[in-house]
Amino acid sequence: MYKLLKKDGDAKRGEFHTVHGVIQTPVFMNVGTAAAIKGAVSTEDLEEIGTQVELSNTYHLHVRPGDEVVKKMGGLHKFMSWNKPILTDSGGFQVFSLAGLRKIKEEGVCFNSHIDGRKIFMGPEESMQIQSNLASTIAMAFDECPPSLADRKYVQDSVDRTVRWLKRCKTEMDRLNSLEDTINKNQLLFGINQGAIFEDIRIEHAKQITEMDLPGYAIGGLAGGESHEEMYRIIEAVIPYLPVEKPTYLMGVGTPANILEAVERGVDFFDCVYPSRNGRHGHVYTNHGKLNLFNAQYELDEDPIEEGCQCPACRRYSRAYIRHLLKAKEMLGMRLCVLHNLYFYNHMMEEIREAIEQGRYQEYKKQKLDGMQNIV
């Protein structure tokens, strides 16, 4: 499980031992919603750019190709040819995203597929069954993600239901892990802290889920409308009530600056679509800020995206060439930008781990943020 190796202030350097290998933390998980990173990135590419954990989505894989198909193919690892850890999101956030199409009850949620409109029911048991079929390393509990600006009564009722749902998730996962035909009988369940921007609701919820002694805990619902300052305030309020000897995962966050700030506050796991989404639009991260390669200033620029970067794009190609590919709508342009951005994030996490080990995280964070002033 989780081994805390070093603390520098509240920043944690750890190792999380799983059936699919050891995760060095803090870690940034690369988001492959439908079992692939958008941008024509293969699992071989992920190995080359230092990816530790791939994240896929329960809802999307349930709708297409179907979790039963993935199970028949031997589980997600075999299906996508990836032998390192995989975390699957429970589908709760997608249900929240399909706000106009959903109907929440105590049993679970009825909503319509975004692909063909067919009616789908998902509750805690269904989410666990789907994730068990996918055979991911880490499964996330099924929760409702209340809007960050929802009123207090709605948030309290939602969180109370999420506690009841978590108990059902745990019971069902224990049952599934004991079945003979389950592919991964060592699947790990992470609980999710909710409560919008109400500190007291968040703290009480953190205490309740900590009592359940799960392998890890996430802070959810902080990537949807609140300010960065509010997000940091909530993290600071909640972290002391989550066990330091378990990993803490900040869901859906974020920019390089968000990650640097959250690591300082004790977060171990991160995921975000920014590096791949921005890359597909020609926006690339560097230690000196974010560049938009569509800009005319790069038309004759022979430099790589970032001097000294060892990603597949920077080792070989110029900004001018990548700009041409993007302008010509050649898929290679998008692919090279996504690879660069994921490499940037993965290697920033390596630097973070090293800085914590050396007891100089504060100094590293300041230097990194000063360098990339316009990445916020």
Residue 164 in tokens: 């009841």
* The residue to which tokens 């028949």 are assigned: 72
The residue among 257, 287, 253, 246 whose CA lies nearest residue 271 is 253
Q: Which of 8, 45, 67, 89 is catalytic?
A: 89
Please pick, among 271, 301, 303, 370, the residue that the annotation labels catalytic: 271
Provide DSSP, 234-296.
Answer: HHHHHGGGS-TTS-EEETT---HHHHHHHHHTT--EEE-SHHHHHHHTTEEEETTEEEETTSG
Cβ atoms of 316 and 309 closer than 8 Å: no
Whether residue 84 contacts residue 51, with contact meaning beta carbons closer than 8 Å, is answered with yes
Verify whether residue 10 is a known catalytic residue: no
Specify whether 89 is catalytic.
Answer: yes
Which residue type, as a one-letter code, is found at position 118?
Answer: R
SS3 191: strand
Number of CB atoms found within 10 A of residue 310's CB: 12
Catalytic residue numbers, as ranges = 89, 271
